[in-house]
Amino acid sequence: MAIVTFVFSCFSGDAEKIFIDKSLVGKGIGETVSDAFVSDQFFITTYPDKPKVDYGFFIKRPPIGEAIKRLEKISAWEPKTVQMDIPGPLGRRLERRVSVNTRQDMVLVWWPTSSIEAWPWSPMSTDRDRANLIVLSIHGPNIDLLAYNRTECDPFHASFSCLQPHRFFTIEQSQSGGGETTAHTSTYEIIQGKIQRISNIAIPLKILPFSSYS
């Protein structure tokens, strides 16, 4: 995994510096990254062909005043990396996406059900196998599975709330037998270690929605 960082001017918006950090190349569990999140505390990556995540907690971080040094090489932060299995179908290629809450103590891993491509066919018999919403909890160098669930419709966007760290929103779509498309805006909340949908609004559409993830 290579990390490319762009530093932009606050006045003109022009790119002033570009850092290409290859210090983590060959250290992940997969060659192709589906999605990633990097902060000054940790990084997490997902992969399209493996139901796993890489989580790296930075043990040593440069002082805040040395901003440029913080960007040059992430290996200098001494990441302690662990690999974790996550729920979801096995033997499928999935567009696993990541969203992190404002406290940076929970990570949402999700994917559209339409992105599932069977490599070989395999049955999905348990709730864990059917899940496409995964919430992981983070405590320093430790990462644990907190909850998982499956959406009723096909999500094409999901993200945590900017105000309430235990809530996240999805935009999902469904099609009727007559070919009519409906968008669903849903609110989920993590309550007592479970993902619960607390609201859903259905909006009929005249055209198919699209996402920047497509």
**How far is residue 1's CA from residue 131's CA, in Å, rounded to a whole number?**
27
**Which residues of the chain carry a pLDDT beneath 70?**
27-30, 62-72, 115-124, 207-214
**How far is residue 33's CA from residue 2's CA, in Å, rounded to a whole number?**
10
**How far is residue 171's CA from residue 187's CA, in Å, rounded to a whole number?**
9
- Size (the chain), residues: 214
* DSSP secondary structure of 155-186: EEEEEE-SS-TTEEEEEEEEE-TTS-EEEEEE
pLDDT at 214: 45
pLDDT at 177: 73
Closest CA to 128 of 152, 107, 147: 147
pLDDT at 68: 58
pLDDT tens readout for residues 70-121: 666 777 788 899 999 999 988 888 999 999 999 999 999 999 987 655 445 5
pLDDT at 150: 95
**How far is residue 133's CA from residue 169's CA, in Å, rounded to a whole number?**
11
**How far is residue 70's CA from residue 63's CA, in Å, rounded to a whole number?**
8
Contacts of 92 (CB under 8 A, 6+ apart): 116, 117, 118, 119, 122
pLDDT at 2: 76
The helix/strand/coil state of 89 is: coil
Two tokens, residue 185: 């805006």
pTM, entire model: 0.84
pLDDT at 123: 62
